Chains A and B, each alone.
Chain A
């Protein structure tokens, strides 16, 4: 499994398909909107998992929103640990972190 993160519209999906050659049906886009969040085991079955970076803003006032943001962050840390590669996209450019 390859983890691809970055801001909105950074070119993550195109990178997964065109550069890495991941099949769309084996790619999970928009992990950050999945409710409930899939389990680690399920996510490890994909070729690529794509997630927006959501933790780099002002901490939300609502407890639920705070906890959701942290759950996404922790899940991405676990995914990164298990992933064979981690990429971070910025304006269409990919930086390989792992």
Chain B
């Protein structure tokens, strides 16, 4: 699931996960830095309430989380997960971040019956940024391109409306 900020991708991804069924696991990747982060998390929790998700906090090392059998996992979101990996150490190591993300996602794909990943469209403002930000953008873009190759469905949310780039509309 791709899209810009406040495009409705979370709600759509949640409803998709509910349709896929099984035990519903919400894999939260955001570290709740500051008041705004806490508010954002609270807003997402309210929106998710009553949909039957069990929340797991996993800001890094996806491969270590324990997933029950036949679960549908909703990972939100890739932008945070990538930031947590890229900015984890003193110096930025794109290759290390990419391989950590790839390893974690592949293990998760094995454990989950269905996996829905919320990504981020951060790439279309035509601006240049400092090297650390550009490195982060490179890593996120690469991971999303890798996932879109091997996943069944790629949808972009535009004003709450899904646009399907790959796979059958569901």
What is the interface of chain A, defined by CB distance below 8 A to chain B? 3, 5, 7, 53-59, 63, 66, 69-74, 76-77, 79-81, 86, 88, 95, 97-98
Q: Which residues of B contact A76 (CB under 8 A)?
A: 159-160
A73→B158 CA distance, assembly (Å): 9
Least CB distance from A37 to B in Å reads 12
A53-B4, A70-B6, A77-B8 given as contacts; is B124 within 8 A of A97 (CB)?
no
Q: Which residues of B contact A71 (CB under 8 A)?
A: 6
Q: Are B159 and A5 within 8 A (Cβ)?
A: yes
A3→B158 CA distance, assembly (Å): 12
Known A77-B6, A77-B160; 5 more pairs at CB < 8 Å: A5-B159, A56-B123, A58-B133, A59-B122, A97-B158
In the assembled complex, 14 residue pairs joining A and B whose CB atoms fall closer than 8 Å, in A order, are A5-B158, A5-B159, A53-B4, A53-B158, A54-B4, A55-B121, A69-B6, A71-B6, A73-B4, A77-B7, A77-B160, A80-B160, A88-B158, A95-B163
What is the interface of chain B, defined by CB distance below 8 A to chain A? 3-8, 36, 121-127, 129, 133, 137, 158-161, 163
Across the A-B interface, the 6 shortest Cβ-Cβ residue pairs: A57-B125, A73-B6, A55-B4, A80-B159, A56-B4, A77-B160
Q: Which residues of B contact A81 (CB under 8 A)?
A: 160
A81→B158 CA distance, assembly (Å): 11
Between A55, A72, A98, the greatest number of chain B beta carbons within 10 A of the residue's beta carbon is seen for A55
A74→B4 CA distance, assembly (Å): 11
A71→B121 CA distance, assembly (Å): 17
A12→B95 CA distance, assembly (Å): 41
Q: Are A74 and B122 within 8 A (Cβ)?
A: no
A57-B124, A57-B127 given as contacts; is B161 within 8 A of A69 (CB)?
no
Least CB distance from B169 to A in Å reads 12
Q: Which residues of A contact B6 (CB under 8 A)?
A: 55, 69-74, 77
Contact of A80 among B5, B133, B137, B161 (CB under 8 A): B161
Q: Which residues of A contact B127 (CB under 8 A)?
A: 57-58
A56→B3 CA distance, assembly (Å): 7
A70→B8 CA distance, assembly (Å): 11
A70→B36 CA distance, assembly (Å): 13
Q: Are A57 and B122 within 8 A (Cβ)?
A: yes
Least CB distance from A50 to B in Å reads 13
Least CB distance from B133 to A in Å reads 6
Least CB distance from B139 to A in Å reads 13
